Amino acid sequence: MRLKFGKSFRPGLWPTLAMLVLCALFLRLGVWQWHRAEYKRELLAQYEAQGKRAPVSLDALLADSTLESFPPYLRVTADGRYDPMRQVLLEDMTRDEQVGYEVLTPFLMQGGVIALVDRGWVPMDPKGTAPDVAVDDRPRQLTASIGLLPAPGIKLGQSPAPAAGWPKSMLYPTLDDLRPLFGPKLMTPLLHLEPGQPDGYRREQTLDVGLPPARHLGYAFQWAALAVAVFVVWLVVNLRRGRKQDEDA
């Protein structure tokens, strides 16, 4: 193809295909990051809306042990007692670039129903020993919000079986991994202990969604910029090649 301003434009087949594939890939990644930003904005908005409401009694909701009909981040109060002998430590949880554990403690309620309470984050001992997360089993009422187990961005394979003994260190377990440890009356949602509640560790005042929406938008812009850069490079290289061919002709 000869351009109007006198330069030949003869892009090769394989470079053109490579450009199209890369541009499509980068744009797809940019769109994915954009959707992640929108998703996390919605989560934060839901969390903020539920935080303004008074907590409801979890005991009154136990007829639906899954709580799937209730909005996420619903604030609840629960009566029962901790089971300090069967705690779970979630590995590879970071705060301010420091590695530690998220402490999950069973909370025994009426009818034998068990809820796992996320009591917060503790740093990992440099020697690798398990942290002391002891808690008493006296009756109590706690205030928490309904949440989910932490999940990795990309999961490679199955989670390894936990070692014998308690507390159990586990890497991103699913509910299917936890049910054999606590029985069929384990509630499906996690309860995040609110800041200010006793016997808790470090907890965020706002929902921890990992990367904030603004960071995802920044990545979306970077992927789009890469797609544009690949196209521009392809265009400039082929224009120069066409001009050289014209000069040699």
Average pLDDT estimate for 124-149: 86
Indicate the pTM of the whole model.
Answer: 0.62
Residue 229 pLDDT exceeds 80: yes
> What number of other Cβ atoms are within 10 A of residue 36's Cβ?
20
Peptide bond into 167 cis (omega under 30): yes
Q: Give the Cα separation of 43 and 71 in Å (integer).
A: 11
Per-residue pLDDT of 147-201, as tens digits, reads: 878 776 656 556 666 667 888 888 888 888 888 999 888 887 788 898 889 999 9
- Other CB atoms within 10 Å distance of the CB of residue 172: 15
Residues 168 and 181 sit within 8 Å (Cβ to Cβ) = yes
DSSP β-ladder status, 88-95 and 98-108? antiparallel
Q: Which tokens hold the place of 70?
A: 């209730």
78 vs 2 pLDDT, higher one = 78
- Summarised one tens digit per residue, pLDDT across range 104-131 is 999 999 888 899 999 999 998 877 777 8
In whole angstroms, give the CA distance from residue 103 to residue 83: 13
Please report which confidence band the pLDDT of residue 135 belongs to, taking 50, 70 and 90 as the band edges.
very high
Single-letter amino acid code for the residue at 178: L
44 sits in which H/E element: helix 13-51
What whole-number distance in Å separates Cα of residue 73 and Cα of residue 204? Answer: 14
Domain ranges of the chain: 55-193
